[in-house]
Structure 1
Amino acid sequence: MEIFLDSIKNSIYKFSRNKVSIIGFFMVAMVIIVAIFAPLLAPYPKAAGAFIDFSNASKPPSRAHFFGTDVVGRDILSRVMFAFRGALIMGLGVIAAIVPFGVLVGLFAGYYYGTWIDTVVMRITDIFVTLPALLLALAVASFGRPSLFNSMMAVAFAWWPFYARLTYSMASSVRNETFVKAAQTIGAHKAHIIFKEILPNCLAPIFTKMALEIGWVILVGATLSFVGLGEQPPTAALGTMVSDGAQYLPAQWWISLFPALAICFMILAFNLLGDGVKSMLSTEVL
């Protein structure tokens, strides 16, 4: 127990040494808090849905509307706050879906390195890796009805091979370590070797990749929304808001600018946090 607590303390210490990552942590925390409590924090909660107020349409940023209003009078700040929800669901949901599958594929291919299982599984993975993830996600999403769930499935379909490839690289190397050979010698079950001996030694780079890629998954999700393949109006979605305001540029710049900045803010937040996770999981002696 003491060893476990010392490990946690050491990890927290490593993370705290990276001041930029602390900033990222608070940025991510702020996004999560805003997303959860949007109905309480948003100045105009009704603006998140099918709300019309033509008397306040296309108003520039002001004290009453810090981010201005769109062409039907909805408060953009309120819509951005609610849109954080869909963006977080996209980023966290896709990562939660693809990591177990990709890691499982990579583990088995790595354990059976040099066999027909390795050859078949990794050649299929290589086919997916060679295809641009964004284009593949766009193609898959276009076959279904536009929605948040379908866009998540499209991104997951395009993204899992990267985790399979990473895990395969780690597992195929770890399988030759002495402790794995020792487990095989004493007759340990294959499942025990894969999940108890190999997997724990692959987790650090996997967790690092997860933290760093949430922001990019959010960007791909926003791209799908931008072209009309994500969440549908009147639901507030950052990509849709950028797309809706693009046709009014440059005169009504605020309609697209603030949702775009919100996307950049989320990407930066998760990238900074991911850098801290990388430092925390590093084996460097401090």
Structure 2
Amino acid sequence: MTVMTTTLTPLALPPRDSFGTRLVRVLRTDWLATAGLAIVLLVVVFAFFGHWIAPFPEQGSGQTNVDTRNLAPSLSHLFGTDQLGRDMLSRVIMGAQPALSIAIAVVGLAAIIGVPLGAIAGYRGGRIDDLLMRITEVFQAFPPLLLAMVMVALLGPSLLNAGIALAICWWPWYARLVRAEARSLRERPYVEAARAIGVPMWRILPRHILRNCLTPIIVQATVDVGAIVLAAGSLAFLGLGAQPPSPDWGLMVAEGRGQLFTAWWISTFPGLAIFLTVLGFNVIGDALRDLIDPRMVKR
């Protein structure tokens, strides 16, 4: 009697596309992501090389010229000039550096404060979680911009103090984001196995918890860069951020608001710079979520 045996061959799963392949696919199919990337790259180039790109760098830094006051946009001054004769194109280009600098500094400081606190709260739970979350709720009970205004008013108006105030107002969002991820990760088998063999918490958190929280942190940080550019510009508009003659976009909008109907270009072009920068970073944040989160990959 012959016994027939059948060998089952496991199904071969198609290899997942690399990050570079997915990036090229997104840039080819999503024109909005491509436009957002172009805007972000342009802002970065202006931030690093604005002094060499600006047609009148000395005016961008604050030098005045009373003979060219309130000139409308023309071939010699593409964005016109302001009430002190300074070239608006040069000031808009050089304004990218303080805007991007404060945004990256605030995001970095907020993440340094919020990410470890959120990871500890989510991993440990119990009273530590309750205590840390109550602290974050105290900060989140106030609108971030309003709380930042109060802090800057106490510290004194300056770009540095505005950055410190925004970082203090921004860290609770990172704490809550990481805490939610850590609560779901602490029950995973590999985390329980590490805990069972006696691996200390200070090794589990960076190797097993924070490493798996990088995707939402990166996406949130990218979106927050645009939001902080807007918040810092709002503080400067109110006189609580960058001070004259700094080429700050929010400050330029404030300086031209009194001449909005006679010299519209003084406020319009810095306002457009803020708008496009915020839009670019928000679009890039959405595209990054699709690229680096395996659950969002579309085959």
Aligned residue pairs total: 281
Moved more, 254-263 or 194-203: 194-203
Structure 2 residue corresponding to 1:147, chosen from 158, 165, 187: 158
User: Which deviations, in whole Å up to 9, do the C-alpha atoms of 1:58-89 show, x marking residues without a partner?
Assistant: 11111111111111111111001111100001
Identity of aligned residues (%): 37
Letter in 2 for 1:173: S
Aligned to 2:274: 263
For normalisation by structure 2, the TM-score amounts to: 0.90
CA distance in 1, matches of 2:179, 2:25: 27
Letter in 2 for 1:12: L
Structure 1 portions without partners, runs of 5+: none
| Match of residue 23, structure 1, among 30, 35, 44 | 35
What secondary structure sits across from 1:37 in the alignment? helix
Q: Which protein is bigger by CA-based radius of gyration?
A: 2
Of 112, 118, 126, 1:106 maps to 118
Moved more, 157-166 or 265-274: 265-274
- Cα separation, 1, equivalents of 2:30 and 2:286: 8
Give 1:266 deviation, angstroms. 0.6
Secondary structure of the 2:294 match is: coil
Contact 1:180 1:197 in 2 (8 A): yes
Matching residue of 2:217: 206
2:110 equivalent to 1:92: no
Q: Deviation digits for residues 151-193 of structure 1, max 9, x if unmatched?
A: 1001001000000011111111111111111111111111121
Task: Indicate how the Cα distance of structure 1 residues 95 and 51 shifts in structure 2: closer, same or farther if over 3 A, else same.
Answer: same
Going from structure 1 to structure 2, the CA distance change for 1:14 and 1:193 (only over 3 Å counts) comes to farther
SS at match of 2:171: helix
Hey, what does 1:125 align to over in structure 2?
Answer: 136
Relative contact order, higher structure (CA 8 A, sep 6+): 1
**Separation in 1, partners of 2:43, 2:217:** 23
Give the equivalent residue in structure 2 for 1:74. Answer: 86
1:183 aligns with 2:194: yes
> Structure 1 residues 197-206 or 80-89, which shifts more?
197-206
Deviation at 1:7? 4.9
The residue type paired with residue 138 of structure 2 is I
| Correspondence list, 1:39-54, <5 A | 39-54=51-66
Q: Which moved more, 1:153-162 or 1:188-197?
A: 188-197
Counterpart Cα distance in 2 of 1:124 and 1:109? 11
Q: What residue identity is the alignment partner of 2:50?
A: A
Task: Indicate the residue corresponding to 2:287 in structure 1.
Answer: 276
Q: Which moved more, 1:198-207 or 1:156-165?
A: 198-207
Structure 2 residues not aligned, in runs of 5+: 1-15
Shift of 1:15: 4.7
Distance 1:51 1:14 in 2: 46
The whole-number CA distance in structure 2 between the counterparts of 1:208 and 1:106 is 17
CA contact (8 A) 2:19 2:292 kept: no
Matches within 5 A, 1:131-170: 131-170=142-181
- 1:35 is matched with which residue? 47
- Give the secondary-structure state (helix, strand or coil) at the position aligned to 1:69: coil
**Larger CA deviation: 220-229 vs 14-23:** 14-23
RMSD: 1.6
- The change in CA–CA distance for 1:149 and 1:15 in structure 2 (over 3 A counts) is farther
Contact 1:14 1:280 in 2 (8 A): no
**CA–CA distance in structure 2, aligned partners of residues 50 and 70 of structure 1:** 11
The 3-state SS of whatever aligns with 2:95 is helix
Distance 1:210 1:269, change over 3 A: same
SS of match in other structure, 2:199: coil
Deviation at 1:22, TM superposition (A): 2.3
